[in-house]
Structure 1
Amino acid sequence: MIKIKVYVFTALLICLSGYFSSVQGQETGYVMTVKGKIDADEMGKTLIHEHIVTNFEGTKNPNQTFEDQERAINLILPHLKYIKSLGYETLFECTPSYIGKNVELLQQLSELSGLNIVTNTGFYAAVDKKYLPEIVYKEAAETLASMWYDEWKDGIADSGIRPGFIKLGVGKGELDTIEQKIFKAGMILSKKTGMTIAVHTGDGNSIKSQARLAEENDFDLQKLIWVHAQNGNDQERMSMAEKGIWISLDGVSETRMDEYIKMIVIIREHSLLSRLLLSHDDGWGVEFDNGELVLKPFGNGNKIPYRTISEVLIKKLNALGFTQKQIDMIFIENPKKAFGILN
């Protein structure tokens, strides 16, 4: 009789263990990297908005390739290996379609560095719509969402490499007709796939416009990231965070360190660190000099890409009383919750 009770109790523990494991998995979901799907709990320490290569002249295709990728690998790989040595496991590559996104290069660098790299789908209407394909002006939001869904389902261009989030770009002020269209397309796709929308945003008025449109369409604001929230003011950041929108301070640099620390401290004072994301927004611009590929660092205020947060910012935050738990929240827990796909 005692043995039977032991067996029953053991079986019950196993069932409960499986149940809680399942619940945990449901809460964190998964992330689609350039090498395939991983559990969101495997993301680890994460940089949520960086670039590898970007073509600021624009390209004719959503995915750019160039013949001499080995040169790019030789230049960029040491930097990725270094941030891996700093404890980072995942990097979200935010270069949009038609601005030099190169997913084959990302996949190669992921394999060689050991970093999880996540790419995106979507369109970028900032910078006076310089990087928008003509189809945006002709087709409805539903058609655009369907195009992006094909990338989610089958891969970007002919690569077979799938996106893990939606990257959009809008300018300042109220969303205009085209910006509303791509934002609506993003919401349609997000609802269908579970991918989060990260929106390059010109100012606080723009994010307010996005929030209103999202609420009108019954969109979950926790699936929306205000990219470049440093372009707003404290009141706007607090208001959006309280709604559930992720506040992403992108562009952390040596030259603007005090400015970013002040914003982070104010967010902590309002008990909203659980809505905060941070990044450098570093990377390389693609240029061609007499037909030769040249890659030049963005020049965002960091002497070496991808390092300033770990080597400067976190140390300064620690000196201001930020605990390891709070640091882990910003760089481990928040990215997992922001980008985890539950569908």
Structure 2
Amino acid sequence: MKALKDIGLSMLDLVAVREGGTVADALGIALRTAQHAEALGFTRYWLAEHHNMAGIASSATAVLVGHIAGGTQRIRVGSGGIMLPNHAPLVVAEAFGTLAELYPGRIDLGLGRAPGTDPMTMRALRRDRVETEEDFPRDVAELQRLLGPAQPGQRLIAMPGAGTNVPIWLLGSSLFSARLAAEQGLPYAFASHFAPRLLLQAIDIYRSQFRPSATLAQPYVAIGVPMIAAPTDEEAEFLASSTYQRVLGIITGKRGRLAPPVENFMAQLHPQERAAIADFLAMAVIGGPLTVRAGFEQLAQATQADEFILVSDVFDADLRLRSLDIAAAASSLVPVAA
């Protein structure tokens, strides 16, 4: 049984644009949060690719990875993830190969197979390309070749990129990427921060079908965990209403900027809306220090994950940092006095 103190703590940032704030504000908050996470001893800081969404400023993901890596010293920085169907593998290899040369040993390349956007924007990104089920495994294999050592006679070489061996992760919210990650012997991250239903099944498939590779000798699983912590359960629930509003916007197709918290927000909703939000956030850990620790322990016992990747959408940037402090203490990453 894995002890909580042995589970790594990381963060996924959607770079939320807040109501009353600007994109520049959101980018500044992301860097400040990454620096704080590094000081707390977090393992990695990932950024997610989304497009055409008013409240999310992480569309140019590789650019942001460089910005965060340049403003930190030790923490790993990467994509959680690059939506590979939107990009030619060579372009991704060159971008992340460049990042790896700038920040050696600190860059991760997490890959997803969803478009990360709406159909209209998907067409704008891909132009006339039609995606098939075989494309994602083929593109992953091509990226592995482009980021590996150049072979004799190899005509297509990523420059920069070749020989950097940027670690590739497969991300998923279904069973497809679990099987592919197992087959390829790659680390696997499940998107349980928004699609928790298949989490345990995906982890079981990944572990049972895992084949050791030159990259990884044993399975390595990270899971997305929505997390909001405060000194009391009541305050944490109040702060979480910003996340509840964001999730309701996703469910109803009315996305907007991250909103300030609202007292008793959930009580104002229809039962169906409350149930939909609860389903979306089934893996969420929200509460005071003891509640957060209990939530982490429950997740650790259920999943035996190697790493929790936290998603913490708190409207007040300072209270978001405090939330990470409490999470680090609850996970035994830092002494409780912190």
If you compute each CA radius of gyration, which structure gives the higher value, 1 or 2? 1
